[in-house]
Structure 1
Amino acid sequence: MSVQEKLKALLKYLKIVAITGSSAFCVYYNIRQTCKTINNIVNPKVIDRENKREAAYIYVDDPSYNRTFQVEYDKATRQSVGLARIWKSLKHSLAWRLLWLCRHGNKDQRNIALEQLASFKNNKVWDCCKLAQAMDENTAVLLARTRGVDLRYFLPPPIHIRRAALSNELVSFKLRDLILAVQNVNPHCCIEHFLSKYFANVQEAAMESDSIPSKPDNICERDLCISCMDAIYHHVTLFNCKQYDEDHSIKKLINMGLLPILAETMLRNRNDPDCDLAVLKVLTVLSVHCNLLLDFFKNGLIGELARLIRSKDIRLSSSAAVCLANLSGEYCYRPGLYLLHPLYRTTSATACDTLLVHGLRGGVFVTWRQRDKKCAEPIGLIEVTISDFDCETCEIVQTPEKKYLDPDMQQVVEDLIEIGDEALLSDIEVVLHDIPIKALREPQSSNKFTANHKRLALNQEEEDKCNYTVCWPKDWLPKDVSNLRILGVNYWTSLSEWLERCPLQTADIATRASELVPALIDAGVGNKGTPVVWLAHSMGGLIVKQVLVEASQSNQQLLKKIADNTKAVLFFSTPHKGSSMATMPRAAAAVLWPSNDVRQLQQDSPVLLNLHKAFIEFADAYSWETISFAEAMPTLITAFKVPVHFVESFSADLGRGEFYQLPLDHLCICKPATRQSILYTTVLDVLQRVSNKQEELPYSNTVIDLLWWIFKTKVKEILETIDENHQTNDGLRWTETVLLNTFND
């Protein structure tokens, strides 16, 4: 065979290979594009659920379909004919597309999709069940933090947990086994005391596996479960670690099934605030480890948190908000730090971080409540002043108002009414409450002791008298200052060593401040240039001073930002130079046996004086605004109503900044009765000035800085426009936008 014939045969083979390869490539390319298109429309993970070995969720409580559910579905199907069926199918496809954007879209698209998905109303049960079944854990926790979301979007606890909640098995013994296991990991005397008190024969039961100890007769099952959960919370709080691999107690509890037991407990005690609070306290510690999100989701706890964040009880809503914020990974709120506002997810930048620090025998949900009648009652030496109150809701008689179809006309009429009322009150001065009897140093603000808007002040006063609040910074400040983040600091205190306490909870001011610092850093306080304002009552002011001194002296960048961004500190009867009550005679000290918290507040203590001197130096260096309030009236203690001045005015005076001595006692010095109190108006004035400075133009010193700021803003807008055009296929089309406006309220 010649060379020419060999080349012809080779060319023939090459043609066949080229035609076959190109055909195969075309077929492969079309199949791949088809699969990619299908994956964009249908979630492949839903189809893969059948291949999983683990337990999956189901919609119904029983393997057989509910007859009522089926009849309702058939009735709705028969009624959906013609245009209505097409309209509902469009809504259904739009909801699924929004769910897809929640999982795969960028940050802006995800925020829009979450808001629109949460605003869907009048959904059928089966539509919510389908969306809940297809939803992943990351979308679920973000949707739970969105205001107004339908709770049917979240799966309930699995059926084996719901069946266990209907059984007669005692949950207290399950919790007891968990306590025993965690005690073996990290032994602690408090847990040993608890077990010996409520489970006296637990040691014998541990040796005899077949015997079941009898439940204590002096306590009911519900109260015993709450006590067990409090014991678990106490233990995991003491031995809590930020890294999950190092937190051996929590790892042991999770492996033994703590989350299913907590879900079962909430189902057994439905709508029980005390039980829900005990469960939430444990969940707040567990949520620090955001890698447990999938475990929360599988046990149906995301839906329970979405339910509790709507609670009117501030303890439940704040704890649920902390859990969801930790699980979403936005911030990390350690135990003892409560998120008071905003409870829900927000896209606005924080204008100011406001921190509340209580004093001795106080608490986040006790110290910062509105002044009520119980504040005037004498207090004891042992019991803690509680926040229970008897508030009679005012009966507001609503008079029919004439409404106009034209909103501009309605606004004009309202403005005329307001102008008329202000004219009637022109000759009257509305004086604020709690006028100081003594004031030192000229104030930096233009705050006055009379209301500027008289009609608004009178209306607010009547509204505050009718609507009692257990935390006035949470309920009042966001109404007057936007984009605030309010955090409450909670820590354990004691007055006497005669009282039961944990030996590991004895700490001085410096130790408490060092424990608070990492919690503030993890929460992002002062980060991104956000200004910080502190509100501190009594001993809490000393802790704040210690934190700021450590932050000023630190070389750590994140800790240094707290000192750099602190703008103001407000002290409510803080003993800067100590208290004479803590300096008691030796005979009285032998009887009362004051705790370490009281002993460190002795008058003219060298530790307090050195701290005071260091704080004054850093306050002048960083130009912190300081305002001090002092008590002028004695506090009645014991049933004999013994008048006692806890903090004298000379000790409450910081020596710099504004100083006011008010006609209030030690307990009421941080509790305004209404928004027309000097206490509230002073705090509001500081926050408004700090927030307004934050919103000002960042570069306004020179013309060059101004032009540079305008140039950067324009470039940012152009880049965002290009990004939106690039993401057109993943965004919302104009038709879908019309449908969103149609199906929303």
Structure 2
Amino acid sequence: MSLAAYCTVCWRTIGTAAPPPQSRTSWAAIRNIIKLTGSLILGGSLFLTYEVLALKKSLALDTEVVEKEKMKSYIYTHTGSLDETENQGIAYQARKELHKALRKILVTSAKIFRSPFSGPFSTVDVEDHECSVWLLLRQSREDCREARLQAVQDLSQAHHWHDYQYRVVAQAADLRTLIGLARSKETDLRFFLPPPPLPALKEDSSLEEELRQLLSLLPQTELDECAQYFTSLALSESGQSLAAQKGGLWCFGGNGLPYAESFGEVPSATVEMFCLEAIIRHSEIPTHCDQIEANGGLQLLQRLYQMHRNCPKVQRNILRIVGNMALNERLHGAIAGSGWVSILAEAMKSPHIMEASHAARSLANLDRETVQEKYQDGVYVLHPQYRSSQPIKADVLFIHGLMGAAFKTWRQQDPEQMAPQVWEDEASYTTCWPKSWLAADCPALRIISVEYDTSLSDWRARCPMDRKSIAFRSSELLNKLRAAGVGDRPVIWVSHSMGGLLVKKMLLEASNKPELRAVTDNTRGIIFYSVPHHGSHLAEYSVNVRYLLFPSLEVKELRKDSPALKTLHDDFLEFARDRKFQVLNFVETLPTYIGSMIKLHVVPPESANLGIGDLILVDVNHLDICKPKEKDAFLYQRTLQFIRDTLAKDLEN
């Protein structure tokens, strides 16, 4: 008699009374069984092929997916002989005795909790040491959410199973369980089946042509001017000559204020990249996401992702599209069915912060079990990126400035004469100190960084029509942050340069709208890194040489004599004093080199002085004011102290 059958008989002989309700204690007993089962597996480390063991007994399950599993041949090579007379050594005897002990434990446990083999696993007949897999699979489908979460946690902690056991879960688990495993930090990647084979390219067709074909099939309605621009560009042009004429359209992110010394030298681009830019814009529209999926876009993007293993920029933009599509719950099944969950789970474990964060955003949008918020394009959670039992008590938001980026703006100050390969060592250098340092020092915080496109000059804009004012950008960001749950708990804002102006505008706007007022009500404090409250010399310089630079709208708004800037300052100052916000102002004292021709003191102390809060002068330039040299540096330690002091009461509760 198999273990499952044996247990069933025992449960039936307990009596006719109704089984006691399932409780936490019941599943605690199951976890103890699983731990013991793990010991059994370790005790018998010999291997056979899965076919031999799977077909040796009758494995009959009510679910179709497990019926198919009987025909699979996932390799878990067992070096022992099939002849039982040759397996009478110490290891065999130990396993035999442990199996007997396990039977006794199961019989005893059956008296205190309902049969875990009810429902879809009621006719299971498997090897004794396989019970842990099916117990957890059964628990992962419980009606009780707490039981499901515990099952995923226990599965993620299974590190000593045979290969075929991970594959059993990979095929038998539902989507909710697999998403949970992908968002669990210690999960073994063998829980995820490789993506299904991609459809072959059409005869006499290239990947570039199929991307353009996909783009041509997408609706041309509801598109803003930039979406229309990229779509037209991708469909009508090919080759790199046009890319050179348009100038640097594939420079997403940015390194701060500096840009090319010569305006004639621009990065090259391909039609693939133009197509991706257009598809990103389309993926921000829910109905267009449906068309991307219906026309094979998920598979096509996956092929492109695999082809560009050595091009992080391409991969990150593909993950942006997948993350946007994951905002639509009706597409979750299609995203998982096309194999993206396994790709995202692997990307989450990347040592590169940007890649891991893009994957984390996509998986968070797929995880409706533990995540209620939705993270729209440009909103990235730096911590916590995995599921965690640590309660989140407050939010810290990072808003970059002109020509900045969600990650690189907040990197550690670039060491001089440091080899690039050393930069990958997080112990020596971090590419994002809020994720590496602040998350470790304040684990009870949710840390969010946002990204939006800006430019110094219209010549350098990724999209010539993308002329957005501070008011427009603040409204756009505010709605995205509210969708991410900002305002539901205490908030601290951390801003650099023009990002501080956006923060002020967002708070003023939120205070005038009832549906957004929670954002201001829960704001506890603001950190300003060289924010030009009264204008910037950069704007003055750009206007003086406007025939050369063609300054962007963002730069023009930073002029000292800008009426809009003065109104924003006066309104916010009164508002902040009334709300009694805690404020910390940092300001640079060194000039900033922009290329080799321009040297500017971008934000002088008199402009960085908000009028309330501490004003701290630091011997750095405008770019490095938000980039501490090391974790012990004054810039970081003073920032950390402000966050802890401002949130002290909230973090204690």
In the superposition, the TM-score normalised over structure 1's length comes to 0.66
Answer yes or no: is the 8 Å Cα contact 2:326–2:362 preserved in 1.
yes
Aligned: 1:685 with 2:641: yes
1:606 to 557, 560, 563: 563
> How many angstroms apart in 1 are the aligned matches of 2:60 and 2:632?
56
Residue 235 of structure 2 is matched in structure 1 by: 195
Instruction: Name which of 292, 296, 304 aligns with 1:257.
Output: 296
Separation of aligned partners in 1, 2:399 and 2:393: 20
Aligned to 1:506: 467
Asked if structure 1 preserves the Cα contact closer than 8 Å seen for 2:458 and 2:464, the reply is no
Task: Give the alignment partner of residue 439 of structure 2, picking from 472, 478, 485.
Answer: 478
Does the 8 A contact of 2:394 with 2:651 survive in 1? no
Trace 1:283-302 onto structure 2 (pairs within 5 A). 283-302=322-341
Distance 2:71 2:529 in 1: 54
Letter in 2 for 1:177: Q
What is the deviation of 1:484?
Answer: 1.4
Task: Tell me what 1:277 maps to.
Answer: 316
Cα offset for 1:560?
Answer: 1.0
Residue aligning to 2:39: none
Q: Is the 8 A contact 1:191 1:235 kept in 2?
A: no
Question: Offset at 1:46?
Answer: 2.1
For residue 227 of structure 1, what is the aligned residue in structure 2? Answer: 273
* C-alpha distance in 2 between matches for 1:606 and 1:107: 54
Contact 1:352 1:690 in 2 (8 A): no
Alignment of 1:618-697 (within 5 A): 618-640=575-597, 642-696=598-652
Question: What is the RMSD computed on CA atoms of the aligned residues?
Answer: 3.5
Paired with 2:81 and 2:523, the residues of 1 have a C-alpha distance of: 62
In the other structure, the counterpart of 1:532 is 491
Q: Would you say the 8 A contact 1:171–1:225 is kept in 2?
A: no
- Deviation, structure 1 residue 105: 4.7
Aligned pairs (5 A) from 1:200-219: none
**TM superposition shift of 1:131:** 1.2
Q: Of 377, 395, 402, which aligns to 1:360?
A: 402
* Closer/same/farther in 2, CA of residues 616 and 183 from structure 1, 3 Å limit: same
Q: Is structure 2 residue 319 aligned with structure 1 residue 308?
A: no
In the alignment of these two chains, the number of paired residues is 536
- CA offsets, 1:163-193, max 9 Å, x none? 7499996322221111111264557122112
TM-aligned CA deviation for residue 512 of structure 1: 0.5
Are 2:384 and 1:342 equivalent residues in the alignment?
Answer: yes
Say whether 1:549 aligns with 2:589. Answer: no
Q: Distance in 2 between matches of 1:591 and 1:272?
A: 33
Code of the aligned partner of 2:357: S
The separation in 2 between residues aligned to 1:99 and 1:70, in whole angstroms, is: 20
Distance in 2, matches of 1:177 and 1:354, equals: 42
Q: 2:282 aligns with which of 236, 244, 253?
A: 236
Distance of 1:236 and 1:347 partners within structure 2: 36
1:690-709 aligned at under 5 Å gives the runs 690-696=646-652
- Residue 467 (structure 1) aligns with: 428
**Post-superposition offset of 1:89:** 4.5
Q: Is the 8 A contact 2:524 2:647 kept in 1?
A: no
User: Can you list the C-alpha shifts for 1:304-358, whole angstroms capped at 9, x where unaligned?
Assistant: 1110000011111001110111011212000011111111012332122111111
Mind listing any 5+ residue stretches in structure 1 that lack a counterpart? 1-29, 51-55, 201-221, 242-246, 377-387, 395-462, 698-745
Instruction: Indicate how the Cα distance of structure 1 residues 607 and 671 shifts in structure 2: closer, same or farther if over 3 A, else same.
Output: same
Amino acid at match of 2:576: A
Structure 2: gaps of 5 or more residues:
1-14, 31-58, 103-125, 241-267
**Partner of 2:108 in structure 1?**
none
Aligned partner of 1:520 in structure 2 is: 481
1:118 correspondence with 2:156 = yes
How far does the alpha carbon of each residue in 1:569-623 deviate from its partner, in whole angstroms, 9 at most, with x for none? 0000000011133134866222321110100110032111111111112212222
Counterpart code for 1:333 = Y
Change (3 A) 1:125 1:195: same
Matched, 1:390 2:420: yes
Indicate which of 351, 354, 364 corresponds to 1:325.
364
Task: Look up the match of 1:153.
Answer: 191
Matches within 5 A, 1:97-176: 97-159=135-197, 161=198, 164=200, 170-176=206-212
1:158 maps to amino acid? P
Quick check: 1:183–1:191 contact (8 Å CA) kept in 2? no
Q: 1:389 to 1:507 in 2, by over 3 A?
A: farther
Which region of structure 1 is more displaced relative to structure 2, 265-274 or 475-484?
265-274
SS of 1:103's equivalent in the other structure is coil
- Specify the structure having the higher radius of gyration (Cα): 1
* 1:680 positional shift: 0.7
Which structure is higher in helix share?
Answer: 1
Q: Which amino acid aligns with 2:394?
A: C
**What's the CA shift for 1:489?**
0.8
Q: Does residue 1:370 correspond to 2:412, yes or no?
A: yes
Contact residue 172 and residue 228 of structure 1 kept, 8 A: no
Aligned CA distance change for structure 1 residues 199 and 315 (closer, same or farther; 3 Å): same
Offset at residue 143 of structure 1 (A): 1.2
Gap change, CA 1:582 and 1:504, over 3 Å in 2:
same
8 Å CA contact 2:220–2:228 kept in 1: the answer is no
The one-letter amino acid of 1:189's match is Y
CA distance in 1, matches of 2:454, 2:525: 26
User: Structure 1 residues 101 and 585, CA, compared in 2 at 3 Å: closer, same or farther?
Assistant: closer
Which structure would you say has the larger RCO, counting Cα contacts within 8 Å and 6 or more residues apart? 1
Q: Which amino acid aligns with 2:349?
A: R
Task: State the 1:228 CA deviation.
Answer: 5.0
Q: Within 1, Cα distance between the matches of 2:545 and 2:192?
A: 59
Q: Residue type of the partner of 2:188?
A: D
Take 1:505 and 1:328, find their aligned partners in 2: how far apart are those partners?
33
State which of 89, 94, 109 in structure 1 corresponds to 2:132. Answer: 94
The answer to whether the 8 Å contact 2:587/2:618 transfers is yes
Alpha-carbon spacing, 1:392–1:49, altered in 2? closer, same or farther (3 Å): closer
Quick one: which amino acid aligns to residue 575 of structure 2? F
Q: Decide whether the 8 Å contact of 2:543 with 2:551 is kept in 1.
A: no
What SS is found at the alignment partner of 2:514?
coil
Query: Whole-Å Cα distance in 1 between the matches of residues 632 and 329 of structure 2?
Result: 42
1:266 and 2:222 correspond: no
Deviation at 1:152, TM superposition (A): 1.1
CA distance in 1, matches of 2:493, 2:419: 27
CA contact (8 A) 1:236 1:285 kept: no
For residues 439-458 of structure 1, give each alpha carbon's deviation from its aligned partner in whole angstroms, at most 9, with x where no partner exists.
xxxxxxxxxxxxxxxxxxxx
For 1:493 and 1:76, locate their aligned partners in 2 and report how far apart those are by CA, in whole Å. 68
Q: What is the distance in 2 between the residues matched to 1:506 and 1:45?
A: 59
| 1:515-541 deviation line (CA, Å, top 9, x unaligned) | 0111111111121xx211111000000
CA contact (8 A) 2:211 2:272 kept: no
Quote the residue 1:404 is aligned against.
Answer: none
TM-score (norm 2): 0.75
Question: Separation in 2 of the partners of 1:191 and 1:694?
Answer: 47
User: Quick check: 1:351–1:691 contact (8 Å CA) kept in 2?
Assistant: no
Tell me, in whole angstroms, the C-alpha distance in 2 between the residues paired with 1:469 and 1:132. Answer: 34
User: What SS does the aligned partner of 1:581 have?
Assistant: helix
Residues 215 and 279, structure 2, Cα contact 8 Å, conserved in 1: no
Distance 1:610 1:643 in 2: 29
Aligned counterpart, 1:578: 535
* 2:42 match: none
Deviation per residue, 1:620-659 (Å, 9 max, x gap)? 222210111111111122224x431111110100010110
Shift of 1:282: 1.3
Q: 1:171 to 1:82 in 2, by over 3 A?
A: farther
Determine what percentage of the aligned residue pairs are the same residue: 31
Change (3 A) 1:71 1:295: same
Once the two structures are TM-superposed, the CA of residue 547 in structure 1 deviates from its matched residue by 0.6
